[in-house]
Amino acid sequence: MVCTRIACTCALVVVLAKGTLAQQAFPYTPPPGGAAQGALPVGVSELDLLRARLDAQERELQQLRQMIQQGRMHPTSASGTAADEPKVKRTDTHAEKFSVKVGGRMQYDTTYGTDSNLAGTTIGRDFVNGQEFRRARFILSGKGYGIFSYKAEIDFADPSRLLFTDFYMQMETPLGHLRLGHFKHPMSIEHMQSSKHFSLIERSAASDTIPIRALGLLLGDTWADERGTWAVATFTDPLLQTPGARDGDVDNTDAQNQAFAARITYLLWYDEPSEGRYLMHIGAGFRFVDANGRSVRFAARPEVHDTYRFLGVTTGPTSSYQQYVLEWGGNFGSLSFQSDWYLTQIQNAQDSFLYGGYIQVSYFLTGENRVYDRRQATFVQVKPYENFWWVDSSPDCRFGLGAWELAARWSYLDMNDVGLTPVGGTGGTAGVMHNYTVGLVWWWTPNMRLMFNWVHSDLRDSALGTTASADMFVTRLQLNW
């Protein structure tokens, strides 16, 4: 193939050059007044002209071969033309206007449970069953002018108020993307994952010790050819404000204590041909909060939203606190693992500690795998191999299975340390909580699914020295667009 290409290239060069060479050998110009086109100089025959041209072509061909052998010329350099170059459509992004993309999310949960001795703890009440819209969000997002983007997301699930979740502007800079507004803390693989893509209905109890979102400024990007990510951010700390009812978000108050957060991740292994069906992810996060002498409240539910907070403590006057996260995740085909471990160090009168974490595993019965986003460094939307559908036609019924995912998680959270005071009542107690969750996800389409979770929670109330447990069954119908 290479030899053929060289020969064709050389022949083309020769054809283009032969007319010039012939004119140099016989500088003949037809006389004015309309001499015949084929007229030759006196004493020159057509045979002489052909021989001269042939000699010139042979000399030129020999020169080309020598140049190629000496590396002074590439075989394709002489044949390239403007017509051979790929046509690239170029757009002036500086002049383009902002795009607008409309989206949304609806999650409807039903919870049924029983408990043993919750009334005998600081909580003082039995488990209550219920139904709720866990999330009902309307989203506007878009890009413009080549370097800008935005997102505006409002949650209508609580009838008493509107809640701003993601609400930010972003600009691409030489250092990375710069984000300003209300958005997630860059802390762990679990925090960065959207609730649209959970394998289990709620995040782990230990993640409740870190707020999901706050007002702030963030700079971040990928590194090592998108094998890793980094982000640094500064926030107004919401744990020092009035606790909100959903997702760790808060009401606005006059508290303006500042927090700093950072996260770095790296892919130890990423299978490019399968686009991440096999991978291994590691990462770490850090958060520092200047509490400025205020009392800080930490609380956690037993991985079911429509229930009480089983654990809840206040720290007393606190100068500052630090939070550390180690994260790990992996895909091994249809089998997936994920784990985060959290530690909170509090500078109060006794230097108190909170710690906990989880181990989660999931498996797709229908062969899919969890999808990893290399720019966000977390798991995102799963696309079933086959959507769920059916057609009732005679003599039989035809249907598609959708995707089926099994998931399980053990989590642990310890809020039992000196210097921590129980909140009391349904705000939670000081103590230790273990949660065991088993779930089934039935993906009808990439945007619709039905989820089932059984959660068993064991609580040890250190304030009263009593124990309690609860078994909760939760279903979720989800639609996002």
The predicted pLDDT at position 431 comes to: 97
**Residue 116 and residue 470: Cα distance in Å, rounded?**
6
The predicted pLDDT at position 21 comes to: 40
Q: What is the DSSP letter of 429?
A: B
Residue 23 clears pLDDT 90, i.e. is over it: no
Cα separations (Å) of 321 from 209, 349, 439?
12, 12, 35
Q: Is 247 helix (H, G, I), strand (E, B) or coil?
A: coil
Exposed, middle or buried: residue 430 (CB in 10 Å: 0-12, 13-18, 19+)?
Answer: buried
Which is higher by pLDDT, 3 or 227? 227
| Each residue's pLDDT tens digit, 167-178 | 999 999 999 999
Q: Is 323 helix (H, G, I), strand (E, B) or coil?
A: strand
The predicted pLDDT at position 349 comes to: 92
The predicted pLDDT at position 93 comes to: 58
If you average pLDDT over residues 94-119, what whole number do you get? Answer: 91
Domain 98-480 matching CATH 1.10.274.50: the answer reads: no
| Each residue's pLDDT tens digit, 393-419 | 767 788 899 999 999 999 999 999 999
Paired with 336 in beta bridges are 331, 362
Both tokens of residue 70?
A: 């000496």
Q: Is 361 helix (H, G, I), strand (E, B) or coil?
A: strand
**Residue 141 and residue 163: Cα distance in Å, rounded?**
17
The predicted pLDDT at position 238 comes to: 64
| Each residue's pLDDT tens digit, 427-455 | 999 999 999 999 999 999 999 999 999 99
If you average pLDDT over residues 266-294, what whole number do you get? Answer: 95
Both tokens of residue 9?
A: 């290239």
Q: How many CB atoms lie within 10 A of CB 102?
A: 10
**What angle (nearest 5°) sits at the alpha carbon of residue 305, between those of residues 301 and 307?**
70
Residue pointed to by tokens 């957060």: 261
8 Å CB contact between 203 and 189: no
pLDDT band at 343 (very low <50, low <70, confident <90, very high): very high
Strands 101-116 and 130-144, bridge-based pairing: antiparallel
The predicted pLDDT at position 6 comes to: 45
Residue 131 clears pLDDT 80, i.e. is over it: yes
8 Å CB contact between 120 and 466: yes
8 Å CB contact between 382 and 373: no
Residue 36 clears pLDDT 60, i.e. is over it: no
The predicted pLDDT at position 176 comes to: 96
User: Which phi and psi angles does 115 have, rounded to 5°?
Assistant: -140, 165
pLDDT band at 89 (very low <50, low <70, confident <90, very high): low
- CA dihedral (91, 94, 96, 101) in degrees, to 10, reads 110
pLDDT band at 160 (very low <50, low <70, confident <90, very high): confident
8 Å CB contact between 187 and 263: yes
If you average pLDDT over residues 256-272, what whole number do you get? Answer: 92
pLDDT band at 43 (very low <50, low <70, confident <90, very high): low
CA 259 to chain centre: 23
8 Å CB contact between 75 and 68: yes
| Each residue's pLDDT tens digit, 178-236 | 999 999 999 999 999 999 999 999 999 999 999 888 899 999 999 999 999 999 999 98
Paired with 314 in beta bridges are 297, 421
Length of the chain (residues):
481
pLDDT band at 329 (very low <50, low <70, confident <90, very high): very high
CA 96 to chain centre: 26
| Each residue's pLDDT tens digit, 354-392 | 999 999 999 999 999 999 999 999 999 999 999 999 887
Residue 301 clears pLDDT 70, i.e. is over it: yes
The predicted pLDDT at position 37 comes to: 44
Residue 60 clears pLDDT 70, i.e. is over it: yes
The share of the chain scoring above pLDDT 70, in percent, equals 81
**Residue 461 and residue 458: Cα distance in Å, rounded?**
10
Residue 303 clears pLDDT 50, i.e. is over it: yes
Residue 457 clears pLDDT 90, i.e. is over it: yes
Residue 244 clears pLDDT 50, i.e. is over it: no
Residue 59 clears pLDDT 50, i.e. is over it: yes
- Most confident segment among 16-20, 75-79, 440-444: 440-444
Which is higher by pLDDT, 256 or 146? 146
8 Å CB contact between 430 and 416: yes
Q: How many CB atoms lie within 10 A of CB 148?
A: 14
Q: What is the DSSP letter of 419?
A: T
Cα separations (Å) of 412 from 28, 341, 409, 459?
98, 9, 10, 10
Residue 148 clears pLDDT 50, i.e. is over it: yes
